[in-house]
Amino acid sequence: MTGTAAIVGGGHADWGKREATWKDLAQEAGKAAFDDVDGVTPDDVEGLFVGAVQPERFAFQSHVAPLAAELLGIDVTKMISRTELACASGQAALRYAWLAIASGQLDTALVLGVEKMNLGDDYVEETQSGMTNVLDREFDGVNGLNAPSFFSMFAQRHMHEYGTTREQLAAVSAKNKRHAANNPYAQFQQEVSVDDVLESYPVAPPLCLLDCSGITDGAAALVLMSEQKAREVTDTAAYVTGSGQSCMASNSINNLPSMSAWPQATVAAEEAYEQAGIDDPVKELDVAEIHDCFSISEIIEYEDLGWVEKGEGGQFVEDGRSELDGDIAVNPRGGLLGCGHPLGATGVSQALEVYKQFTGEVESARQVPDSPETGLIHNLSGSGSVHSVMTLARDPQ
């Protein structure tokens, strides 16, 4: 490769239960991204990468990358693609844009993540049924393994093996929803206490309603440039310094290597850390956006991303080490628990948050102190069989 790539700006649509269509969401986020970067217009975009999981099912539309180009007025001259990797689709789009720019194929790209998931109150069952498509529908889906029941088994096993407590799970949700209360794009903008989480409606024990991320309509977009181009438009960018992915041939639940760990996350993280020159992530990472689709997920990720020993994730959150002023500020935008989880848009939003933390353009109540300079984003997808990790920094290596 000939270089790296830098995030120089981006934008959001509002996230939540929206009357907006897939097209509306794509246009909102795309316009916000161009409005955010002075001197960059749709005419400058050479490559477009769209993360979208199930537009065929939720919006009855395929071939969405050319559709998005038309909606945003982009005449793509070099590269266009839609990425589908379940909950990591947005990060996959970002990864491919980075690789295209780093290899010298492009100078400027737009990364867009879009998901329209709410089909109306009469179609909730349709949405839930559609979500089982990211598992092995023929085997796991017909046995009731939608997301809450699947992650409840991980929570039960982790609690059994390591003594993780219900209060520690609830602490993850309370922290992230507190951050989301100060994020104008989040679906859930209300603080909750640990007791509120514990007392919320039981969904799949030990997980209650407030342990679960939402069904969300939303979109986010990023403008990426080569290092030379980035320096022409901004003094503060988020440069991609490392990226790793791992899948251990375990899409079905019966083939997963563990029910309390994700060794795939460890492999992906170690690959990203090596590329970025990170030896001690707890000391060298300032901010991280990780995949808290359920409260147990964040606890396991503390461990498998190499921040603490196995079984110590619950204590990590209980001790405040993932607070804004902790060892690593985790999910300052509110995470999936606070922002919601429009599948194809989540990874894009995570990267945008790290960029905005670098530039200091987030609300003061959730700004990571001391001018953060390094960050990480993480997504799991499907049955947790695939994990994707990317590291970012204010200065390229």
Please give the C-alpha separations between residue 115 and each of 33, 42, 133, in angstroms, as whole numbers: 17, 22, 15
Angle among Cα 120, 122, 127 to the nearest 5 degrees reads: 65
87, 208, 212, 339: the active-site residue: 87
Q: Rounded to the nearest 5 degrees, what angle is found at the Cα of 295, between the Cα atoms of 280 and 254?
A: 90
- The residue type found at 375 is G
Q: Are strands 238-247 and 5-12 parallel, antiparallel or unpaired?
A: antiparallel
Report phi then psi at 302, rounded to 5: -50, -40
Can you give the three-state secondary structure of 224-263, one letter per residue?
EEEHHHHHHHCCCCEEEEEEEEEECCCCCHHHCCCCCCCH
Number of alpha helices (DSSP H) and beta strands (DSSP E) in the chain:
15, 12
Query: CA nearest 226: which of 234, 218, 215, 214?
Result: 234
Residue 34 CA, distance from chain mean position: 21
Among the listed residues 244, 238, 245, 345, the one whose alpha carbon sits nearest the alpha carbon of residue 286:
238
- Which position has the token pair 């609300």? 363
Which residues lie below 8 Å from residue 344, measured CB to CB, with a gap of 6+?
A: 50, 51, 52, 53, 84, 89, 90, 93, 113, 114, 115
CA distance 69 to 52: 14
CA dihedral (225, 228, 233, 236) in degrees, to 10, reads: 80
Per annotation, catalytic residue among 12, 158, 291, 341: 341
341 catalytic residue (yes or no): yes
Residue with tokens 């994020």: 183
Please indicate whether residue 158 is annotated as part of the active site.
Answer: no
The token duo for 89 is 């689709």
Looking at the annotation, which residues are catalytic?
Answer: 87, 341
